[in-house]
């Protein structure tokens, strides 16, 4: 009896303990059963789909990562500015031209800011743009295929950081130079920086089909242009660039570029710029740059060399540019969904400065200027000020908005996000981040229509959040539920590369247009074949082209002879499958590039240079069927001075 009673008491105590622990705290760290509510909010059951696509920049990886929210599941890494052996991007002959620049072939860049195309100020799911920071470029990703289809180089720029932010209807993506440089480039003493180095702001026109072209550049003083956002609603037609180093220093910037009490937000009236261009009031500058385009019909990329850009100089174009004073060393500059408020985050300030667009226009009309810099009027700070958010945080960086009139700002030094009310400037909530948060993202939070359910904080330092992996650890993203009055941390997950910024969009806006395979009849690749009856091997001097097909579970041809040491062998492989999720790989021993990964209906090309006589195997590198292991073949390689018969086959004659 006593034993039974003790068992009942012990069971009851255990039940109470479990019930208590399930409450957890908002960080989900109260024990193995803590954070039950948070787990429920991020759980996506097997076979179910996430609510949002999230696109995170890869930073020094040069790529874009695609995650689902709220689960945090990684779906894909999209190669953009860096070669990717998994997908043969930059390795196969079709995509090599995508990484060509005026400097030659570049296999890497530093990708920072993804930006979705917009219609009426709302993300529309057509394209994703992202900047290359090191060698200034902008890329466009087609969201029907999640593939990079265009990269345009930006001349006269010394680092493309404040980029590639869209205007309200994706008329333009804009880009500002991070580093002042001589324009045009010339041999000049670095100590001649002040007054002689310039900062180019680029307006890249986006056509209805997505094709990009540099419409014009504005040649600004040689400040460092850090970030940007274009106006929306009533401020449509303007773009706002944050800038620092208005001291125009060229050394020890952590000291020399922090002397001025205020730096500037540059307000650009691009409608006025368009009029100057239409009237012919511009200078045409010799500037060599490349525009690379992947044609889905031919499944080939090509590079086009451009030679000139149209340049506007503010001192010759009244009404084009105005400077809004901002607390020193601003990083982010963000525009609320109405287009009225412009938030400037001076990262050496504890407060947030909010400018009014309406007041800015009034100050311009009244010529309420306190100074001018290189012919650009500097507006009276008090005349444009809408309010100040007294946050008590340190190191404000970036702000985004929800659909309830609230704003969210990251504070790097104090590792937190602060929620505040737009219009009253009252701090409503604050939540810690782990650790040193940089950017944050609310789905649609930089647009006219935020989907204000989640907020994603992108942290620079991970430390003890995950199992250690040696000296290098991944950065982390932390997902907050912002549907209530208080921010609730519900998930964190490691990221690919260093995500500087992110964008997210409801999944249904992309899913309905997602391509599942390429139709063979629409494949106009110059070396595509549509049937095994068309396979062949053709020699022209030391260039050999092998026209090959793949289908579950064999290549045709799979026996090839007549290849010689020193030949340049091009394998043109067409995947004949016409079904979803049936790619084929192709790999040959000793290839000095990568495998191919060929989607259904697609043709890709691998260049191989045999080094010695022998019989060399090739195989399918992507598991495709129960007989995947049997999907292989051989190439016979003969001596360079021999004269072997060129022949090929698949199967036997019997």
Helix (H, G, I), strand (E, B) or coil at 349: coil
SS (H, E, C) 631-650: CEEEEEEECCCCCCCCEEEC
Output the pLDDT for position 45.
Answer: 96
**Distances 565 to 394, 548, 611, 614, 640 between C-alpha atoms, Å:** 64, 21, 6, 10, 5
Identify any residues that bridge with 419 across adjacent strands, giving them in sequence order.
408, 429
Residue-wise DSSP of 560-596: EEEEETT-EEEEEEEE---STT--EEEEETT-SS--E
Output the pLDDT for position 425.
Answer: 97
Q: Residues of the chain whose pLDDT is less than 70?
A: 1-36, 653-654
Q: How does pLDDT run across 228-265, given as a tens digit for each residue?
A: 999 999 999 999 999 999 999 999 988 888 889 899 99
Number of residues in the chain: 654
Q: Are 203 and 241 in contact (CB under 8 A)?
A: no
**Start-end of H helices in 481-552:** 508-511
Q: How does pLDDT run across 54-82, given as a tens digit for each residue?
A: 999 999 999 999 999 999 999 999 999 99
Which domains does the chain carry? 52-511 (2.130.10.10), 520-649 (2.60.40.420)
Helix (H, G, I), strand (E, B) or coil at 193: helix
Q: Which pairing describes strands 454-459 and 160-166: parallel, antiparallel, or unpaired?
A: unpaired
Residue 379: Cβ within 10 Å count: 25
């Amino acid at each position: 009896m006593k034993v039974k009673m003790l068992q009942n008491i012990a069971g009851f105590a255990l039940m109470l303990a479990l019930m208590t622990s399930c409450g957890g705290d908002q960080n989900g760290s109260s024990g193995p059963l803590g954070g039950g509510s948070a787990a429920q909010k991020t759980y996506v059951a097997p076979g179910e789909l996430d609510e949002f696509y999230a696109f995170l920049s890869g930073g020094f990886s040069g790529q874009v990562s695609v995650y689902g929210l709220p689960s945090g599941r990684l779906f894909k890494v999209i190669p953009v500015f860096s070669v990717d052996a998994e997908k043969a991007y930059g390795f196969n002959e079709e995509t090599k031209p995508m990484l060509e620049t005026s400097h030659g072939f570049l296999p890497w860049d530093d990708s920072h800011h993804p930006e979705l195309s917009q219609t009426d100020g709302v993300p529309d799911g057509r394209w994703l743009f992202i900047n290359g920071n090191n060698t200034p470029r902008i890329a466009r990703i087609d969201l029907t295929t999640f593939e990079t289809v265009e990269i345009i180089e930006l001349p006269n720029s010394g680092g493309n950081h404040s980029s590639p932010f869209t205007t309200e209807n994706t008329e333009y993506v804009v880009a500002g130079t991070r580093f002042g440089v001589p324009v045009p480039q010339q041999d000049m003493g670095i100590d001649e920086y002040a007054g002689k180095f310039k900062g180019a702001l680029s307006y890249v026109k986006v056509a209805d089909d997505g094709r990009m072209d540099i419409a014009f550049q504005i040649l600004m003083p040689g400040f460092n242009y850090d970030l940007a956002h274009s106006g929306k609603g009533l401020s449509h037609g303007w773009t706002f660039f944050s800038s620092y180093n208005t001291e125009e220093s060229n050394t020890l910037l952590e000291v020399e570029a922090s002397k001025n009490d205020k730096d500037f937000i540059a307000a650009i009236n691009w409608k006025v710029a368009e009029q100057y261009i239409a009237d012919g009031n511009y200078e045409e500058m010799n500037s060599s740059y490349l525009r690379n385009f992947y044609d889905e019909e031919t499944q080939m990329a090509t590079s086009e060399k451009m030679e000139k850009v149209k340049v506007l100089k503010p001192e010759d174009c009244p009404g084009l540019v105005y400077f809004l004073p901002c607390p020193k060393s601003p990083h982010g500059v963000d525009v609320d969904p109405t287009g009225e408020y412009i938030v400037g985050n001076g990262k050496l300030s504890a407060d947030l400065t909010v400018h009014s667009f309406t007041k800015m226009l009034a100050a311009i009309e009244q010529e309420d200027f306190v100074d001018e810099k290189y012919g650009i009027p500097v507006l009276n700070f008090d005349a444009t000020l809408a309010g100040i958010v007294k946050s008590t945080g340190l190191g404000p960086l970036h702000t985004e908005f929800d659909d309830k009139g609230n704003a969210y700002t990251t504070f790097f030094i104090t590792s937190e996000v602060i929620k505040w009310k737009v219009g009253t400037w009252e701090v409503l909530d604050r939540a810690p981040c782990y650790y040193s948060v940089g950017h944050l993202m609310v789905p649609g939070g930089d647009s006219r229509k935020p989907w204000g359910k989640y907020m994603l904080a992108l942290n620079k330092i991970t430390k003890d959040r995950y199992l250690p992996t040696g000296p290098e650890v991944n950065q982390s993203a932390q997902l907050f539920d912002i549907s209530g009055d208080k921010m609730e941390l519900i998930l964190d997950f490691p990221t690919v590369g260093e995500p500087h910024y992110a964008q997210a969009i409801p999944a249904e806006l992309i899913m309905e247009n997602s391509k599942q395979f390429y139709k063979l009849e629409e494949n106009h690749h110059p070396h595509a074949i549509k049937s095994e009856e068309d396979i062949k091997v053709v020699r022209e001097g030391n260039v050999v082209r092998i026209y090959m097909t793949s289908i579950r579970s064999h290549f045709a041809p799979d026996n090839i002879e007549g290849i010689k040491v020193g030949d340049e062998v091009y394998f043109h492989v067409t995947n004949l499958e016409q079904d979803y999720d049936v790619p084929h790989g192709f790999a040959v021993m000793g290839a000095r590039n990568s495998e191919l990964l060929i989607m259904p209906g697609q043709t890709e090309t691998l260049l191989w240079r045999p080094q010695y006589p022998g019989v060399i195997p090739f195989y399918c590198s992507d598991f495709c069927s129960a007989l995947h292991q049997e999907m292989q073949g051989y190439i016979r390689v003969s001596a360079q001075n021999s004269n072997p018969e060129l022949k090929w086959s698949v199967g036997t004659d019997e």
